[in-house]
Structure 1
């Protein structure tokens, strides 16, 4: 088992696996805290950036705050998540099926 210098480095390494990333985001979405969701998205983006840094699909931008939520206000997604929660439902994240080439 590899040794990690910090929990963050361990987390980023584990989030390179799409199934781990989906489970992580799903768990954070269930909590519903806006700041935690933003941090989770940043962590997954950082992990994916590490994967794609040597590929030609290198267009992930880790500055999610300024792009997705410029005024630090909850988005329509959070409104939907709260409504679903009141209805006894929840949002979830799954791994996207790969399209045939």
Structure 2
């Protein structure tokens, strides 16, 4: 008996605002710019790239390119896509342990 497998796609699991926020937050903690843009691209695909393109005033093709793991989106692209998917950037201080 052979086991049939299929590719796992995170997009299938980004089905609630809480899951989306947790996913993006985890990726931001990692700090890898390529991973961050690709993860935002995952969320845009989950929400529908055509709708995100419409809401941001950008073409689907340019969003796919910018939000790929090889893309290098500008800050205004990231901010507009995050806004379209219902998120915003925020800044928090890094917890630093004080010497005793």
Map of 2:12 onto structure 1:
13
Distance change in 2, residues 1:73/1:13 (3 Å): closer
Q: Per-residue deviation at 1:25?
A: 0.2
CA–CA separation in structure 1 for the residues paired with 2:40 and 2:8: 17
Q: What's the TM-score once normalised by structure 1's chain length?
A: 0.50
Q: Per-residue deviation at 1:22?
A: 0.5
Q: What's the TM-score once normalised by structure 2's chain length?
A: 0.51
Q: What SS does the aligned partner of 2:72 have?
A: coil
In structure 1, the gaps of 5 or more residues are 51-57, 90-101
In structure 2, the gaps of 5 or more residues are 54-59, 79-88, 96-100
Q: Which has the higher contact order (CA 8 A, sep 6+)?
A: 1
Stretches of 4+ moved more than 2 A in 1?
64-67, 71-77
Q: Per-residue deviation at 1:13?
A: 1.4
CA contact (8 A) 2:12 2:46 kept: yes
Q: Per-residue deviation at 1:88?
A: 1.7
Map of 2:72 onto structure 1:
72
Distance change in 2, residues 1:73/1:15 (3 Å): closer
Distance change in 2, residues 1:34/1:22 (3 Å): same
Q: Per-residue deviation at 1:31?
A: 0.7
CA contact (8 A) 1:34 1:74 kept: no
CA–CA separation in structure 2 for the residues paired with 1:18 and 1:59: 16
